[in-house]
Chain A
Amino acid sequence: MTTIPVQYYLVIAAALFCIGLAISITKRHFIGMLLGIELMLNAVNINLVAFGRHDPERLSGQLFALFVIVVAAAEVTVALAIILRVYGRFKTVDPDKVNELKQ
């Protein structure tokens, strides 16, 4: 069984991270930015799993990736609740138009 070198995973993860960063910069939509953040978290998890392959006794990388998934789930629920509140008040999801603390 051939094993894939760790650099391959790192390249894929770097590309995915940069795509996520570009998405969260270019999209003028709160949920579009959230999509980019999810992509970036996944890229980081790929890195952790790729390095955790060399630690079969304790699997620290995979455990860290598991906690990252948990934190991502918590983050996206709170972010969506805040987005719904902002939409209810300002009737827009464009971050450029939400520039006042109080309407």
Chain B
Amino acid sequence: MEVIIFYIFSALTLAAGLFILFSRNLIYGAFALFVVFLGVAALYVLAGADFLAVSQIMIYVGGILVLLIFGIMLTQKKEKSDDSTRHNRVEVPITRKIWGFLTGIGLFGLLMKVIFSSDFRMAGEEMSTKSTIKTIGVELMTSHLLPFEIAAILLLVALIGAAYLALNRNPTA
């Protein structure tokens, strides 16, 4: 049963990823990215990471994806036409398509070879089905306190930097 759900969600994720790769309208790609994020969150749940799945949905779907869609809408092409899909279309030259597919398939083959030739010997036993929130909270406040604080400072710096960069300093342009 669990394996069937795993297959369904991984097929959904990969299909949405391939849709981003082949779609020529970037807005459709952004909405397919939504499906990818939901599928990845489902894979997290199947791997026993419930807190991470919820934060994935909140941060990626609620924050990053909305930001990306705003970015796409603010950087449309200028020309006017009746075709509503015209503004966000991305023309891809054939040479770059070939190189992209060759790189992707080559790296995939290499990774497959590495994954199936390696023999993973796990140190601990499998996780039992209990909530991970308590462990994550305790670990964040004890042994991972320094990275936690650094992440807070990084977010503050990124916030100030992004606000400063996005300010319109020359209103004539």
The main secondary structure of chain A at its interface with chain B is helix
In the assembled complex, which residues on chain A have CB atoms less than 8 Å from the CB atom of B60? 38, 42, 69
**Chain B 107-161 interface residues, beta-carbon cutoff 8 Å to A:** 107-108, 111-112, 115-116, 120, 122-129, 132, 135-136, 139-140, 143-144, 147, 151, 154-155, 157-159, 161
In the assembled complex, which residues on chain A have CB atoms less than 8 Å from the CB atom of B85? none
In the assembled complex, which residues on chain A have CB atoms less than 8 Å from the CB atom of B112? 11, 14
Chain B proximity of A47: nearest CB distance (Å): 10
Cβ proximity bits B24-52 to A, threshold 8 Å, 1 near / 0 not: 00100110010011001001101111011
In the assembled complex, which residues on chain B have CB atoms less than 8 Å from the CB atom of A63? 136, 139-140, 144
Chain A proximity of B139: nearest CB distance (Å): 6
Task: Count A/B pairs, Cβ under 8 Å.
Answer: 240
In the assembled complex, which residues on chain A have CB atoms less than 8 Å from the CB atom of B18? 19
User: Closest A-chain residue to B50, C-beta based?
Assistant: A62
B67 sits at the interface (CB 8 A): yes
B14 sits at the interface (CB 8 A): yes
Among A17, A59, A69, point to the contact of B59 (Cβ < 8 A).
Answer: A69
In the assembled complex, which residues on chain B have CB atoms less than 8 Å from the CB atom of A3? 2, 126
**Pair B75/A83 contact, Cβ less than 8 Å:** yes
CA distance A29 to B74 in the complex (A): 13
CA distance A71 to B152 in the complex (A): 10
**Pair B68/A31 contact, Cβ less than 8 Å:** yes
In the assembled complex, which residues on chain B have CB atoms less than 8 Å from the CB atom of A77? 67, 158-159, 162
**Pair A34/B2 contact, Cβ less than 8 Å:** no
Chain B proximity of A18: nearest CB distance (Å): 4
In the assembled complex, which residues on chain A have CB atoms less than 8 Å from the CB atom of B143? 58
Chain A proximity of B120: nearest CB distance (Å): 6
A81 sits at the interface (CB 8 A): yes
User: Closest A-chain residue to B140, C-beta based?
Assistant: A63
CA distance A67 to B100 in the complex (A): 29
**Pair B20/A42 contact, Cβ less than 8 Å:** no
**Pair A65/B161 contact, Cβ less than 8 Å:** no
Can you list 26 A-B contacts (CB < 8 A)?
A1-B2, A7-B120, A20-B17, A22-B101, A27-B26, A28-B91, A30-B75, A31-B68, A32-B26, A38-B33, A39-B33, A42-B36, A54-B122, A56-B125, A58-B135, A63-B136, A65-B52, A69-B52, A73-B59, A74-B154, A74-B157, A76-B67, A77-B162, A80-B67, A80-B162, A88-B173
| A-B contact sample (6 more), CB < 8 A, given A18-B108, A22-B104 | A15-B14, A21-B100, A35-B29, A45-B56, A56-B125, A73-B158
